[in-house]
């Protein structure tokens, strides 16, 4: 299914389900490849017809995907995490690519962007766009796509929240 315009999305928050890391190949930009190879060695990447990709395990998952309780977490964080991974399931363009021009248009700092979302992501909440999506989530994806920012707060799983779900003590009332 092709990506859909952001205006059909109510909100999005990564749930660390790992589908993106199990189902999709991650193409690396040259500087991303270089940084990853410097830390982990060339064996964590594979050449392809259109560039270099992160290697996948026999089960199809990315070599950097780790199980953490009931969640799946990328072991590449901050400066090593590829832009393709930081942006999924959002796609940021300066021209409409998948139609729905009016629904995909997002004005940020006076510039036009066309924002689409991969409907395969199970964390998508459908409906009218929430204030959080418009004011926090989409602007962060635009900042990452344009190189204005790399810090992920709204465009990734909340690791502290996930950790609390794993270690939260069970309270028994006697």
Domain residue spans of the chain: 4-167
Structure token digits, residue 80:
């090593």
Q: Which of 131, 152, 98 is nearest to 11 (CA)?
A: 131
| Confidence check: pLDDT of 152 > 80 | yes
Tens digits of per-residue pLDDT, 128-141?
999 999 999 999 99
Q: What is the pLDDT of residue 156?
A: 84
Q: Which of 97, 86, 91 is nearest to 6 (CA)?
A: 91
The answer for residues whose C-beta is within 8 angstroms of residue 163's C-beta and 6 or more apart is none
Q: What is the pLDDT of residue 170?
A: 56
Q: What is the pLDDT of residue 173?
A: 61
Average model confidence (pLDDT) across the chain: 90
Do the beta carbons of residue 132 and residue 74 sit within 8 Å? no
Task: Determine the 3-state secondary structure of 56 from DSSP.
Answer: strand
Query: What pTM does this model have?
Result: 0.86
| Interatomic CA distance for residues 3 and 89, integer angstroms | 9
User: Using 50, 70 and 90 to split pLDDT, how confident is the model at 167?
Assistant: low
Mean pLDDT of 49-63: 94
User: Using 50, 70 and 90 to split pLDDT, how confident is the model at 150?
Assistant: confident
| Confidence check: pLDDT of 6 > 70 | yes
Cα 81 from chain centroid (whole Å): 10
Tally of CA atoms within 13 A in the half-sphere of 125 that contains its CB: 12
% of the chain residues with pLDDT over 90? 75
N-to-C CA span, the chain: 52
């Amino acid at each position: 299914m092709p990506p859909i315009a952001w205006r059909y999305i109510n909100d999005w928050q990564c749930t660390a389900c790992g589908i993106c890391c199990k189902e999709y190949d991650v193409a690396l930009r040259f500087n991303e490849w270089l940084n990853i190879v410097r830390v982990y060695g060339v064996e964590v990447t594979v050449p392809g017809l259109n560039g270099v990709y992160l290697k996948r395990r026999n089960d199809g998952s990315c070599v950097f995907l780790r199980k953490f309780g009931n969640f799946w977490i990328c072991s590449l964080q901050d400066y090593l995490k590829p832009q393709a991974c930081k942006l999924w399931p959002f796609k940021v363009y300066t021209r409409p690519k998948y139609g729905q021009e009016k629904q995909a248009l997002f004005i940020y700092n006076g510039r036009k962007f066309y924002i689409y979302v991969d409907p395969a992501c199970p964390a998508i909440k459908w409906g009218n766009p929430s204030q959080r999506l418009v004011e926090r989530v989409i602007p962060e994806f635009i900042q990452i796509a344009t190189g204005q920012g790399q810090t992920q707060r709204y465009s990734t799983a909340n690791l502290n929240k996930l950790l609390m779900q794993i270690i939260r003590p069970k309270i028994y009332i006697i």
